[in-house]
Structure 1
Amino acid sequence: MIKNTFDKEITNEIVARINQLNPITQRLWGTMDVAQMFAHCNVPYAYTFTPENFKKPSFIMKFVLKKYVKKMVVSPEAYKQNERTSPSFVISNARDFENEKALLIANIEKTQQLGATYFEGKENFSFGLMTAEEWNTMFYKHLDHHLRQFGV
């Protein structure tokens, strides 16, 4: 079930799950450590809140992303373990646990505070215009997948 990240109670639940993690929490699958996972989870928020910091996808790439990838990202079906990710989401260098954690929590709380109305009809960097429900699904599903990756 996709929970509503625009709901303060759900935001608190997600933050509580994040707060159960520490720098040495072991993953159940994949290759990232916790700090890298936090950095990875911050990527969609960076694309959302600071899109000017990234090179926009070409017309053809955006068409492909909207036509094929968006369906997977905004569907309620959970991601599979060890699925490949977009190269721009790959985090292979060491990251600071506390900094990435604080940024992720700030991003989650900012999203909740802005609310569904802010996201309704907002353009996504890769997928074009999206409904608030699609934004919610994208954010929650991604976070939940990676929090489950670390057992919380």
Structure 2
Amino acid sequence: MKTVFDPGPRQELAARVALLSADSKARWGKMNAYRMLRHCNTWSEWVLGIGAPTYRQTLLGKIFGKMALRSNTKDDRPIGRNMPAGKAFLATEREGDVAAEQTKWLQHIDGFRHFANERFIHDFFGKMSKEQIGIFVYKHFDHHLRQFGV
């Protein structure tokens, strides 16, 4: 399975991110290109531990999280369309500097090369192994890049 911790998938993701532009249109969902980039950057910072985020699993996650995690990391099946984004990761501004957000996302993708955030706890899935984190990060990024046709 593809993981963001392997060089090949990181290079593939970076090449796809480079294909985005301010004019890229979503095939599904409500985000424009800028909002998707902001979402992915905010989410990346959370996973990487940038800015000292706090981690807490929701009650619903404590009940269903492990089952959902296994389902999302057991094979190469991509994340389905129109999955809801956590409210903490929604970009409130509608427009902004797409090129700056692309550059930041590329830096975050490269930053997964040295992932060392042992404190990370997914708000729904809970504690994840490093292998599960790598697979899910790849799938999350792939989901949004497919959303914009790249």
The answer as to whether partners of 1:39 and 1:100 remain within 8 angstroms in 2 is yes
- Which residue type is aligned with residue 148 of structure 2? F
Mapping of 1:8-47 within 5 angstroms? 8-47=7-46
Contact persistence 2:39–2:89 (CA under 8 A): yes
The structure whose residues are more often helix, as a share, is: 1
Q: Residue 106 of structure 1 aligns with which residue?
A: 107
Give, in angstroms, the shift of residue 66 of structure 1.
4.0
Of structures 1 and 2, the one scoring higher in RCO (CA 8 A, sep 6+) is 2
C-alpha distance in structure 2 between counterparts of 1:58 and 1:131, whole Å: 15
Shift of 1:65: 7.0
CA–CA separation in structure 1 for the residues paired with 2:106 and 2:61: 29
Matched, 1:131 2:129: yes
Change (3 A) 1:64 1:44: farther
Structure 2: which amino acid aligns with 1:139? V
Q: Structure 1 stretches of 5 or more lacking a match? A: none
Paired residue for 1:63? Answer: 62
Deviation at 1:9, TM superposition (A): 2.5
Measured in 1, the distance between the counterparts of 2:20 and 2:5 equals 23
Shift of 1:84: 1.7
In the alignment of these two chains, the number of paired residues is 145
In terms of mean alpha carbon deviation, does 64-73 or 126-135 score higher?
64-73
Q: TM-score, normalised on structure 2? A: 0.79
Matched residue SS, 1:40: helix
* Identity rate, percent: 25
1:33 and 1:83 mapped to 2: Cα distance?
16
CA RMSD of aligned residues (A): 2.5
Counterpart Cα distance in 1 of 2:134 and 2:50: 18
| Per-residue CA distance 1:86-141 (angstroms, 9 max, x = gap) | 211222422321221111110000102x15xx46xx23233443222101111100
Three-state SS of the structure 2 residue aligned to 1:123 is: coil
**Distance 1:39-1:73 versus aligned 2 partners, 3 A rule:** farther
Q: Structure 1 residues 39, 89: closer, same or farther in 2, change over 3 A?
A: same
What's the CA shift for 1:73? Answer: 4.8
AA partner of residue 120 (structure 2): N
- Which amino acid is 1:63 matched to? K
